Structure 1
Amino acid sequence: MTKEEIKEKVDALTYDEAIAETERVLSHLEEGNLPIDEVLSQSRYAVALITHCRTKIAQVGKEVDRILDDLDPTPNQE
C-alpha cells in the first residue's frame, strides 16, 4: 500500500477498529512469517494506526477539557 492508501484506510477507522487492527498487525509481525517487504509495509501500517489512535485520544481529551470548562465558566486565576 502507498502512504496515501494507508492514510485513507486508517482515517476511515474508528478508535476501536484501529486498536483491533493494530493488534492484528502486530500479531502477524511477531509471528515472524512475513516476507521482508511485507514486514516493512505492515510496520508502516501499524505506525499509521498508532498515530491515528493517539490523535483520536488527543481530540477526545481536548473535547473533555472544553466540556469541563463549560461547567466552570470563570477563568482560573492563580
Structure 2
Amino acid sequence: MAAKKKAATFESALEELEQLVERLESGDLPLDEALTDFERGVKLTRECQQKLASAEQKVKVLMEENGKVQELPFDTEDDFAGDNGPGAAE
C-alpha cells in the first residue's frame, strides 16, 4: 500500500498528523514506534507548513485604489490578533 505514495494533500497530511499525535499522547507505544511516529510527525509538520506558505503566497487581496486594481498580500496576523473580532468565541 505504501509502495505508491503520491504527495499528500494538506488535509490528508493534517489528518495523519492528528492520528500520530493521538497515538503518541496515548503513551502505549514502544519507544521505537514512538520515535518513528515522532519523525513522521515532524516530516508532516514541515510539509504542512510548506503548503501553507505556498498557499499564503498565492492568496491576494484585490483592492481598488484611485480607479486602479492593486494586489496586496493577504495579511493573516490581523485575522488572529484579537479575540473580539468577527467569529470570535463568546
Fold-level similarity (TM above 0.5): yes
The structural deviation recorded for 1:50 is: 0.7
CA RMSD of aligned residues (A): 2.5
Partners of 2:36 and 2:7 in 1: CA distance: 19
Question: Aligned-pair distance for 1:22?
Answer: 0.4
Structure 1: 4+ residue segments shifted above 6 A: none
What corresponds to 2:57 in structure 1? 62
Matched, 1:39 2:34: yes
Identity of aligned residues (%): 33
Q: How does 1:12-23 map to 2 (within 5 A)?
A: 12-23=7-18
**Higher RCO (Cα < 8 Å, 6 or more apart):** 1
Q: Give the structure with the larger helix fraction.
A: 1
Equivalent position of 1:49 in the other structure: 44
Structure 1 gaps of 5+ residues are 74-78
Gaps of 5+ in 2: 63-68, 72-90
Corresponding residue pairs, total: 64
